[in-house]
Amino acid sequence: MSRRTTGQDDDYPDGRLYYWKSVNTPELSDKLIERLTQHTAAAPSPDSTIDVWYQGGAMARVGEQATAFANRGVPYLFGIEGNWDRQAGHERLSAVKTKYDPGNLFRLNANIQPTS
């Protein structure tokens, strides 16, 4: 069976590690842009990004309750993408997991397997 691909497969290939968060903001002030620039420069991986998306125009003219897409009245969204290749520190985390959660009870989030 062949695997279906999407337009993002080239940008986010299998085998890498990813962690993304996003937040809406009503404006892009100079102070916010300065902080975003500082955090981008300090990213531990050169493949990590902070993306700024404008959400105005036709999208903002649809009522807030009209669809499942929320926050239409907030014009900007920025996404913070942590993208990296190796599992830095996961051996140490596995040892902690083995000590405190050997049965892997807490496994529903980004799971770290306990060592055998």
Same domain, 112 and 74: no
**pLDDT mean over 23-38:** 92
Q: pLDDT averaged over the chain?
A: 84
Model confidence band, residue 42 (pLDDT cutoffs 50, 70, 90)? confident
Domain assignment present for residue 3? The answer is no
Domain assignment present for residue 80? The answer is yes
Tokens of 17: 């590690």
User: Does the pLDDT of residue 23 top 70, yes or no?
Assistant: yes
Structure pTM? Answer: 0.60
- Cite the DSSP H helix spans in 1-116: 30-41, 90-100
Tokens of 75: 């014009």
**Contacts of 14 by beta carbon, 8 Å cutoff, 6+ apart:** none
Closest by CA to 76, choosing from 22, 25, 20, is 25
Domain of residue 106: give its range. Answer: 88-116
Q: What is the total count of domains within the chain?
A: 2
